[in-house]
Amino acid sequence: MANDDDETRGASDLELPAWESASFARSQLFARAARLAAAGGALGGLGALSNPLSAFGAANAGGKIAVIEQQFAPFFTDNFQKPLSAYLKKSQPGWSATFGNENNTVPTGVNLLNQYSTSGYKVLILSTGDEMSAWQHAVQQVTKSGSIFINHSTQAVSGATQNVLFSHKQAGVDVGNAAVNWCKKHHVTAPVVGLIGNLSDAQGRKRTDWAWKTIKAKLSGAKLAGQVQGIDTPSAGKAAANLLSAHPDINVLITFNTLAGTGALTSAQHAGKTDRDKFFLGTTDFEDATLKLIAAGNSIYQANWGAFFPASMVLMAKDGIAKANGKAIRPTRLLFGLTIVTPDQAKSFNKIAFDPLNPKYAYVFQKYFKYLDTPTATGKVPPGQ
């Protein structure tokens, strides 16, 4: 359960020196994950990470890693396949990686998991939006047989060697802080807030819930006009149009993801909300399309929140290999992110995120990930999340 007094990890004020190619399909994948979930969301143990390559140690006898992806798409290629291949080549040449396509079906994914486990793959990694109760038995069986299983999905699963989880709460807190900063800059002491969230998912809705909690805690005069469901462009466009029709005084609008955000943007513009000094639109997620809007510096779209998935892939490989070598690894890792509010941040985010092995960007490993000693079970979230 979330605790109001938890330490927050905002990064709105970080000045970053340009990232070019995350696929818009990413939001479509996570929107699907949200629907599936509704139907069934202090750095430690890393060693010195000033140089990511040397920090992870010398190559050993080697082994095989299997990564099961929700589907083969540019998002997975750019964020998982390319960085893993680069890391193994540069730092662990005795290791190799294979990628399997679940193709959006749990039975296919479970069959792949079992095949890889019985074929001698030492480290098994899963990234999906599936309802994880459907995976629990298979995961427990392969880890019982000696496989190392790392889960990098939208939900935790019992029995995983390590669960790597997106912090929905922190995304909301950080974008809420960005909205507060906008209000203070423009002397808006009593903002009227609209939320377009994933209300059918207990974890996903934390993004917009925590954005509102953060705004209200720092601006006591803030008013919540309404919170409505919207996780894709059509539903969010309609939701934003209805909200703005019923509450034309809304001047802060927060959305669950960028599919919802682009739909809301169109409706807000149709409602006459075009002045960025009078209207703030922010999203607890990011895509290239919205990065470009922020980079232009002339839109009411003024905040995204970006997680560093390629660096997370490197950490999964590092941890899996460490475990295969008999070392203990921590059972839970949280993904935090950068609040992207300036043109410079928007222009440089992809460049930094897609180059995780560059020593210049070693701070990403230290700043945007947090290891916990508490295991996370199916249907549960880590303490404070």
CATH number of 269's domain: 3.40.50.2300
pTM to 2 decimal places? 0.84
Q: Of the candidates 122, 131, 49, which has an alpha carbon nearest to the alpha carbon of residue 91? A: 49
Check whether residue 32 and residue 136 sit in a common domain.
Answer: yes
The count of structural domains within the chain is: 2
Q: Hey, what are 57's tokens?
A: 């140690």
How many angstroms separate the CA atoms of 366 and 97, rounded? 25
Q: Which domain holds residue 58?
A: 25-166+308-336+356-372
Asked if residue 228 is part of any domain, the answer here is: yes
Rounded CA-CA distance 161/138 in Å is 13
> Which residue's structure tokens are 């040397």?
54
Are 97 and 186 in the same domain?
A: no
Query: For strand 63-69 and strand 123-127, is the pairing parallel, antiparallel, or unpaired?
Result: parallel
Q: Are 377 and 385 in contact (CB under 8 A)?
A: no
Q: Which long-range contacts (CB under 8 A, 24 or more apart) does 357-362 make?
A: 357/52, 357/53, 357/83, 357/86, 357/87, 357/90, 357/91, 357/314, 359/50, 359/51, 359/52, 359/53, 361/311, 362/49, 362/50, 362/51, 362/52
Q: Is residue 80 part of a domain?
A: yes
Residues 139 and 232 in one domain: no
Contact criterion met (CB below 8 Å) for 367 and 170: no
Indicate whether 75 belongs to any domain. yes
For residue 1, is it within any domain? no
Tell me: do 78 and 103 sit in the same domain.
yes
In a domain? residue 9: no
How much is the pLDDT for 62? Answer: 85
Task: Spell out the per-residue pLDDT of the chain, length 385, in tens.
Answer: 333 333 333 333 222 222 233 334 445 454 544 444 444 333 333 333 334 455 444 446 689 999 999 999 898 999 999 999 999 999 999 999 999 999 999 999 999 999 999 999 999 999 998 999 999 999 999 999 999 999 999 899 999 999 999 999 999 999 999 999 999 999 999 999 999 999 998 889 999 999 999 999 999 999 999 999 999 999 999 999 999 999 999 999 999 999 999 999 999 999 999 999 999 999 999 989 999 999 999 999 999 999 999 999 999 999 999 999 999 999 999 999 999 999 999 999 999 999 999 999 999 999 999 999 999 999 999 989 9
Q: Are residues 55 and 29 in the same domain?
A: yes
The whole-number pLDDT of residue 201 equals 87
In a domain, 349, yes or no: no
CA distance 166 to 362: 20
Same domain as 325, residue 301: no
Tell me the residue type at 136.
Answer: Q
Let me know whether 33 and 156 are in one domain. Answer: yes
**Residues 123 and 199 both lie in one domain:** no
What pLDDT shows up at residue 60?
60
Residue 109 contacts residue 72 (beta carbons within 8 Å): no
Question: Residue 239 phi/psi, 5° resolution?
Answer: -60, -45
State whether 78 and 54 are in the same domain.
Answer: yes
Residue 188 lies in a domain: yes
Task: Answer yes or no: do 29 and 160 share one domain.
Answer: yes
Q: Residue with structure tokens 């974008």? A: 175
What's the first-to-final CA gap in the chain, in angstroms?
Answer: 6
**Residue 118 buriedness (CB in 10 A; 0-12 / 13-18 / 19+):** exposed
379 occurs within a structural domain? no
Residue 176 and residue 87 share a domain? no
Distance CA 255, CA 257 (A): 6
**Residues 35 and 87 grouped into a single domain:** yes
